[in-house]
Amino acid sequence: MTISSIEAIALIDANNFYASCEQSINPHLRNKPVVILSNNDGCIIARSPEARALKIKMGSPYFKEKERLNKLDVAVLSSNYSLYADMSKRLMNLLKNYCEKIEIYSIDEAFVSISRPNNKNLYPWARKIRALTYQNLGITITIGIAENKVRAKVANKLAKNIDYSAGIFDLARNENENSYFKEISVDKIWGIGKQTSNWLKSKGIKNAQELIDMKESEIFKKLGIVGKRLQLELKGYKCLTLEKGNKSKREIQVSRSFGTPITKLEDLTQALAIYAIKASAKMRSQSLQTSAISVFTRTSKYSSQNYQRSAHKKLINATDNTNVILKIVVALSKEIYNPEYKLSKAGVLMQDLTNCNYLQQSIITYKFQEDIKKSENLMRTIDSLNKKYNNKAITWAITKKTKEWTINRNLLSRTSTTDIRKIPTIVI
């Protein structure tokens, strides 16, 4: 643990990311109120600044807001996940060119480290990144700069809340930081959840400054080393380092809610098979293999009939081969199916993940290197072709049956940066 030095930490956050992506790729949506809906067009999960100005609430069910949105001429769109993922990748690649280290925190956020120049002023650097991001991607970003990750999060919130900040706030270059910390409620501090927030408020701690001034022994007694580390970071110490590279995942899950409830075994099997194919491809893209597979399904939480079931299979040999995984998932689907219930959601989990470069074989099911190589080449070829053309260039026959249960995305935008057939065209 050290007091922060010449190295600064910045949290870079894309504003209203989902809505901004849609406005960026579709000029007709610029300066127009836009909302993005969750899976099955259920709830509002993103809003453009223009929609926020109309007091449209986050998380509101679409069916309750539909009439009002129509009257206000708000553009309503289903989630276009392939577009958002691609725009996120482009944003992170751009940021990598203008910082020393980067930790991708979420689809629209990244912590970066940058050394301060002799005059300690990082505002020119931040303004350049904001300009380049808007020029290249059409997305506005907010940059909070400080000595460590927690204070960078605070600075980012201040950059959004203070009008004169113009989207950039360097906490380390502001002398009256106490007054700024008083503006940050404890429940808005990174790392503080609802229960911790309620406990702090019961102790009379309402804002970040009061948390800084709180007795260290009292915080440590209740919240342990995590709470003590958080308080020290607020004071300006550097306790949390940037994570280098992508951390290996312990499990990969693919799950979806169905557009129409499932009552047939063949539909449930098909859904789980599709999720298994996606999860397998994700594993291979991260050089991972699974040693355990789980599947689950359940009814809607709003249904009068409550049913949920899962099944699990431990593997003798770890694998990333979709053929092997599909056979297991198809068998497990029969264990969780119940014809008496209308199933609304299902999912697949790849668990006990390990690096595929280290394969520990069993003497019972030993495979020769030649067979392993053939399997690897087949999977690599499929992934390569799908990446080059589209995600369904080559797939398994079980996915091709007509699917009545697929997720509802009736308001999906028809533009894309990953499908050449959907790239916007300009007519002169």
List pLDDT tens digits, range 212-257.
999 989 999 989 999 999 999 999 999 988 887 556 678 999 998 8
- The Cα–Cα gap between 296 and 308 comes to 7
Residue 416 inside a domain? The answer is no
Q: What percentage of residues in the chain have a pLDDT greater than 70?
A: 92
* pLDDT exceeds cutoff 50 at 3: no
Nearest to 7 by CA among 143, 171, 120, 151: 120
- 239 and 258 co-located in one domain: no
In the block, residue with structure tokens 């350049």: 128
Radius of gyration for the alpha carbons in the chain, expressed in angstroms and rounded = 25
Residue 234 inside a domain? The answer is yes
Domain boundary among 197, 227, 247: 247
- 73 and 181 co-located in one domain: yes
- 11 and 107 co-located in one domain: yes
List pLDDT tens digits, range 15-39.
999 999 999 988 889 999 999 998 8
- 166 and 311 co-located in one domain: no
| CATH code of 384's domain | 3.30.1490.100
- 239 and 269 co-located in one domain: no
Domain that holds residue 243: 1-247
Residue 380 inside a domain? The answer is yes
- 124 and 263 co-located in one domain: no
Domain boundary among 199, 215, 247: 247
Which pLDDT score, from 0 to 100, does residue 65 have? 93
- The count of structural domains within the chain is 2
- 310 and 162 co-located in one domain: no
Enter the pTM of the model.
0.79
| CATH code of 236's domain | 3.30.70.270
- The Cα–Cα gap between 110 and 15 comes to 13
- 127 and 199 co-located in one domain: yes
- 230 and 259 co-located in one domain: no
Residue 426 inside a domain? The answer is no
- 242 and 256 co-located in one domain: no
Asked if residues 266 and 402 have their Cβ atoms less than 8 Å apart, the reply is: no
Residue 24 inside a domain? The answer is yes
List pLDDT tens digits, range 170-184.
998 887 888 889 989
- 90 and 217 co-located in one domain: yes
What is the pLDDT confidence band of residue 4, given thresholds at 50, 70 and 90?
very low
Which pLDDT score, from 0 to 100, does residue 394 have? 84
Helices 17-25, 81-96: axis angle to 10 degrees equals 90
- 221 and 120 co-located in one domain: yes
Strand duo 75-78 + 237-238: pairing: unpaired
- The Cα–Cα gap between 104 and 243 comes to 9
Residue 418 inside a domain? The answer is no
Could you give the C-alpha distances from 345 to 42, 188, 261, in angstroms and in order? 14, 32, 8
Domain boundary among 217, 247, 277: 247
Residue 328 inside a domain? The answer is yes
- The Cα–Cα gap between 126 and 168 comes to 7
Residue 232 inside a domain? The answer is yes
